[in-house]
Structures are given as C-alpha cells and as structure tokens.
Chain A
Amino acid sequence: GESVGLHLPTLSVQEGDNSIINCAYSNSASDYFIWYKQESGKGPQFIIDIRSNMDKRQGQRVTVLLNKTVKHLSLQIAATQPGDSAVYFCAEINNAGNMLTFGGGTRLMVKP
C-alpha cells in the first residue's frame, strides 16, 4: 500500500470489538491533537481532534482521550468494523498552528 507499513506496531481485533490505539507525544505546548486514518493508497484522513484544555472528546463511534500529565493520547473505536482497517496516526499542532508532527502510526487490522 501507499502508507507507512513495514515497521508499524499492529493491533488486531475482532469485528464488533472495541479498539484502543495509543500515542505518546513530546511537545507539552501543543494546542491541538489530531487522529488521522490512512488507508492503503490514500492520504491521511481526519478522524477527530481534541484541544489541549480538554481531556475527552467523542465523535461517531470514536473517542479521544488526552492525558497531559503523562503526554498520552488514545483513540477508542467502538464496534470496530472491517472498514476501520487502516494505519492510524496521532499528530500535534505547534504554536504557529499549522505544522503537524506525527507519531509513527499503528496498523489496525479487523478480523471478520
């Protein structure tokens, strides 16, 4: 595929189960954190974001949790579906507001 693939940690889940993908960030001054999904052959696609003054945000089937104490971000996907299979990246926004730095990514594989 077109995404980072050869050296990624992989999470394998059964269809219908919940998935939790974790990410550690480095810049405590980051204002925003974002989760992206990248399917094979495509560019990253925005899933959900969270501002640094929040610790939880929910979307449709997805929840992002932010723990600023340990600089940890997680993405929870409820009732995981085969279409959720992809590489997931976390990203942080710098103080200028437009530069993204990305974690290495996690490959999610959903077994039917």
Chain B
Amino acid sequence: KAGVTQTPRYLIKTRGQQVTLSCSPISGHRSVSWYQQTPGQGLQFLFEYFSETQRNKGNFPGRFSGRQFSNSRSEMNVSTLELGDSALYLCASSDLRAGSYNEQFFGPGTRLTVL
C-alpha cells in the first residue's frame, strides 16, 4: 500500500501571496489531518477532515483553510502569507473507526519558505 503523499515537497513564496498544498492519504483512509512544524513551536495541529467535513480545528487564523474531496484527498490553503508561515506542513491520514483511537500515518511534508 502506498503511503501518504504530499505535493509539492518544497515551495518558495513571497509575503502576501497564497499557497495551496496537497495531500493524498493512504488508500481507504478517510481522515486527513494537517500539522504545522516550526523550530520555535514544534508540531501544531491545524485541522482534521473526515468525509469532506472539517471535524476539528486548531488555533490558527482564518488565513489557514482546507478542504477534502470525495476521494479523501485534501488540500490546505494559506492566504496572505507571512514570514512566520515558513514551516514544514505535514499531512497525516488514518483509518477512522468510531469510538477508538486510530493511528495516524504521516507524509514527508511540504517545506514552505516565505521570503
């Protein structure tokens, strides 16, 4: 089974621009979560999608948004980029079963640099 894939792997943008990152979960996984990883803050939860609906949301401004498609692929968008948005963005998928803990499998991440 192929793992979680994320595209692009690297991205350079300038302040004020917007960016869209893509994540393809493991086949059959319907839950996709996004995380931001920075040296100062560590790994922080952005949001989680299941069946095209956002189920959980972290403490990030509205410039960060996401969506999930019917095939479970997910995208996240960051508008009006700021220097502080430079980070590794990680996507994780899980085979969600109601009422139980589900292991998350991470992709390699997209390294975003904002100049």
Contacts and interface: CB of A to CB of B under 8 A. Distances in A.
Interface in A80-112: 89, 93, 96-105
Contacts of B44: 101-102
Contacts of A49: 101, 103
Interface of B: 4, 31, 33, 35, 37-40, 42-45, 48, 55-56, 58, 88, 90, 92, 94, 96, 99-109, 111
Q: Label chain B's interface by main secondary structure.
A: strand
Given A2-B88, A43-B92, A98 B48 contact: yes
Interface of A: 2-7, 31-32, 36, 41-46, 49, 51, 89, 93, 96-105
A4 B101 contact: no
A43 B55 contact: no
Contacts of B40: 7
Interface SS, A side = loop
A102 B108 contact: no
A43 B45 contact: no
19 contacts: A4-B37, A7-B40, A31-B101, A42-B108, A43-B107, A43-B109, A44-B106, A45-B106, A46-B104, A46-B105, A96-B55, A97-B101, A98-B55, A98-B96, A102-B43, A102-B44, A103-B42, A105-B42, A105-B43
